[in-house]
Amino acid sequence: METISPKLLNWASILDKQTRDQAVMTAGLPFIYPHLALMPDAHLGKGATVGSVIPTLRAIIPAAVGVDIGCGMIAVRTQYSVKDLPKDRKRLREDIERVIPLSAGHNNKQVMATAEPRIAELKRLAAKAGFNPAQYIAKWELQLGSLGSGNHFIEVSADEHDGVWLFLHSGSRGVGNKIAQHHIGVAQHVSRKNQVYLPDPDLAYLDEGTPQFERYIAELRWAQHFALLNREEMMDRVSARFSHWVGGSVRELERINCHHNFTEQETHYGKKVWVSRKGAIKAGHGDPGLIPGSMGTASYVVVGLGNPASLNSSPHGAGREYSRNAARKTFTLEELKRAMRGIEFRASEAFIDEIPAAYKPIDQVMQDAADLVTVRHKLRQLVNVKGN
């Protein structure tokens, strides 16, 4: 761990100047307390750095939560071993692709029976929060159980004992994005109205106790729960298709579901603060967690060590070294195919920007996180599903 300043602690051994400067800028805000914690996977983000833990006193920065509110991971450990699996992994990949809408803008054509109780729960929560999600997305219900694109994925993996895991990454989809963008805009409007100087407009904040703050928190919590249920819904569908493929039901030995774009009120260094983890997971003592690598590399099942300096946090993944545009200009489909050798996936130029070489080496990230989490399992990919 490196102390960049009294207000900025850094766990990233790989850190470019732009990312460092952005973190320094955010850490300089007057309501940061006690300090910003920069995780090993840190890279440049909108307003605030992705891979940062941002504690704020009586204020919150909507862009520091991120536009994919509640994005995170879910994993299920099954009773199966690699030796139990059929040889034709392509059949499973294509089956998963049929039952889960992939890519940005792709939703379910109708509400699935498995999604109905989850949607009913979300409607009750929205009514209690005093808003209608349809003001953001007219048919938001059709997004529950859809993956999205970018670095979102569905995988079948195996641990060091050849135990088979089902693993996926997604968030609150379009409805969460619209909620986030709306409140980022509200914060910017309030800052302009109050003539607040900001080093970056995306660091606009809302003061605790104001109507704008209360409205954001209510809708944020709803979107976080949508994201959690979205992962649960997809995992149930993946589990059903996996069961059909192996010819037997899945017995869940373990299920872990954790956010990495979210805010919670917590007590640190003697004060109640709003902790925004933007590309970071909660890693309090004993907290289960999931840290995936990039497409084609290892993922980790971890348990938190409760490091107080990190504000009980850890990285959420590998972290980008190349922007998406730079990766598309630098790497080729053939290089992606070589990186994915032995893994069943859909070979497409659409995924070049997800090539492992575009990310920090996950093993280095985990080495940097040695005082944040303990590794329980290291997973290798068998099947990978992504949206364009």
Task: Give the residue ranges of DSSP H helices in the chain.
Answer: 17-27, 62-65, 89-99, 116-129, 173-193, 211-246, 324-330, 333-339, 362-368
Annotated active-site residue 316? The verdict is: yes
Exposure of 181 by Cβ count < 10 A (0-12 exposed, 13-18 middle, 19+ buried)?
middle
b/e 228-264 (16+ beta carbons within 10 angstroms → b): bbbbbbbbbbbbbbbeebbeeebeeeeebbbbbbbbe
- Find the distance separating the first CA and the last CA of the chain, reported in whole Å: 37
The residues with which 268 forms a beta bridge, in sequence order, are: 271
CB atoms < 10 A from the CB of 96, how many? 25
Cα–Cα distance, 203 to 34 (Å, whole number)? 18
Query: Residue 225: which residues within 8 A CB-CB, separation 6 or more?
Result: 70, 122, 125
CB atoms within 10 A of CB 383: 20
Q: Sheet containing 2-5: give its strands across.
A: 2-5, 8-10, 36-43, 50-56, 271-278, 261-268
Catalytic residue selected from 152, 169, 316, 377: 316
Catalytic residues: 316
